[in-house]
Every structure is written in structure tokens, then in C-alpha cells.
């Protein structure tokens, strides 16, 4: 069984609740979506067997918070991912999954071997795509068997009604979930300040904990 892997490297997590944690990153090639704001345009990959990828992960000898399986969308190759997760899980690594939150059956396939799920809600007014509300709801239900947080990208055109829909799903499925409001990295500095403040107040009023966390690795110029 082989999978397409774009890169394996060490760095610090640049976004979300684990910002600043040292991780080994495994970036899977390919995605099932095409978000308007996507900055992960991958054009090259190498093919790996599960054991081969695990051997490469093992070469990183420092202390790491976790192994981040990211993309693209890692769940697109979930059978392969499951085999690698079994290796890293038994080896004692924390498995951290970064996912767009749309492949429910594939998450079911691997959830036993995941420690932390960092899932997106893809807001139609942000992505320019159709809505995934029912799918995100089912995905969050499965992800809630483990530690999970949700991230949304806030752009100039992000609508309040999409935030409200996200909050409604979180309140229904897992009230403990923290919502990360991530400003679109392409937006001009300061242009989203008022909206982020307003969105944060809406989250607070609806009883959902939220944090505004920009993508620090882009600001700091690290990988």
C-alpha cells in the first residue's frame, strides 16, 4: 500500500490551539476541496509505504509534542494513514490530525489511533464552496471521542449567519469545543479587526469559548 506524501519536516505549529509546539509534520498530497483562500498548493510528492514513512518519522530524534498529519487532506488516504498511525501510536508519539472535517467514514477508520483532532468548519461565505453543515456535524460527533478543536477562517466576506450555524453545531454536539477564529492570511492587516471582535462577542454570548489566533508561522517567516 502506497500513499503520496508531499513533505516530511520538523517545525513549530503555526496555528490553532497548539501554536508554538514543536512537531514533526507529514504533509499528505492532494485535497478534496478547493477553498478560495487556500495557500497550500502542492505540486510534487514522493510515494511511501507505511513502514517507510514511519522509519523517516523515527529519524527525528528531538523531543516533539506530536506528529502532525496534515495536507492537503490526510484522510483522503485513510487506509495508509491508519497503518502509519498504528506505528507512531505504539512508538509513543501523540498523533495530531489536521483536517478539513469533511470525510466522516475516513475519520471513523482512524479515530482510535488519533490523540488530537484539529478540524475545520468550512464556511461557504469564506471558502466560496457549498455548505458542509451536516457533514461537519457528523464529523465533530466522531472527533469528539478524542480531544478536538474547531477552526474557521474569517475573511472579509465571511457572513455572521455562517458563524451562527457553526456555533449551533458546537452547542449541539460538544459544548466543550473551543472555536479558533483564524483571520485570512491574505487580508490586509487590520481589515478584519472589527469583524473578529464582533464574532468573538457572538461566541461569548452563545456560550462557546473562542480565541482569535492568526497564522504565526507566516508572520514569523518559519515553515
Contact residues: ligand SF4, CB under 6 A: 31, 33-35, 38, 40, 71-73, 100
Cβ proximity to ligand SF4: between 43 and 194 the closer is 43
Burial of 20 (0-12, 13-18, 19+ CB in 10 A): exposed
Q: C-beta of 110: minimal distance to ligand SF4 in Å?
A: 17
Q: C-beta of 15: minimal distance to ligand SF4 in Å?
A: 12
Cβ proximity to ligand SF4: between 54 and 103 the closer is 103
User: How long is the chain?
Assistant: 223
Cβ proximity to ligand SF4: between 35 and 46 the closer is 35
Q: C-beta of 88: minimal distance to ligand SF4 in Å?
A: 22
Helix axes 133-143, 160-173, angle to 10 degrees: 40
Q: C-beta of 136: minimal distance to ligand SF4 in Å?
A: 12
Cβ proximity to ligand SF4: between 93 and 184 the closer is 184
Is residue 25 within 8 A of residue 98, CB to CB? The reply is: no
Dist CA 20 CA 14 (whole Å): 6
26 grid coordinates? 507529514
Amino acid at each position: 500500500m502506497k500513499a503520496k506524501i508531499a513533505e516530511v519536516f520538523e517545525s513549530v505549529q503555526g496555528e490553532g490551539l497548539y501554536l508554538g509546539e514543536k512537531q514533526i509534520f507529514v504533509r499528505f498530497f492532494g485535497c478534496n476541496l478547493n477553498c478560495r483562500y487556500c495557500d497550500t498548493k502542492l505540486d510534487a510528492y514522493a510515494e511511501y509505504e507505511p513502514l517507510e514513512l514511519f522509519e523517516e518519522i523515527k529519524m527525528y530524534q528531538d523531543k516533539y509534542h506530536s506528529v502532525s498529519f496534515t495536507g492537503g487532506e490526510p484522510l483522503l488516504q485513510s487506509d495508509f494513514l491508519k497503518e502509519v498511525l498504528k506505528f507512531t501510536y505504539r512508538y509513543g508519539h501523540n498523533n495530531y490530525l489536521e483536517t478539513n472535517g469533511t470525510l466522516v467514514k475516513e475519520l471513523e477508520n482512524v479515530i482510535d489511533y488519533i490523540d488530537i483532532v484539529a478540524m475545520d468548519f468550512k464556511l461557504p461565505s469564506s471558502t466560496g464552496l457549498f455548505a458542509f453543515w451536516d457533514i461537519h456535524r457528523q464529523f465533530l460527533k466522531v472527533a469528539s471521542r478524542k480531544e478536538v478543536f474547531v477552526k474557521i477562517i474569517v475573511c472579509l466576506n465571511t457572513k455572521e449567519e455562517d458563524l451562527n450555524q457553526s456555533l449551533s453545531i458546537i452547542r449541539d454536539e460538544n459544548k466543550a469545543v473551543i472555536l479558533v477564529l483564524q483571520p485570512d492570511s491574505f487580508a490586509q492587516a487590520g481589515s478584519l479587526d472589527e469583524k473578529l471582535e464582533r464574532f468573538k462577542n457572538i461566541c461569548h454570548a452563545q456560550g462557546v469559548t473562542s480565541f482569535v489566533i492568526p497564522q504565526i508561522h507566516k508572520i514569523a517567516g518559519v515553515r
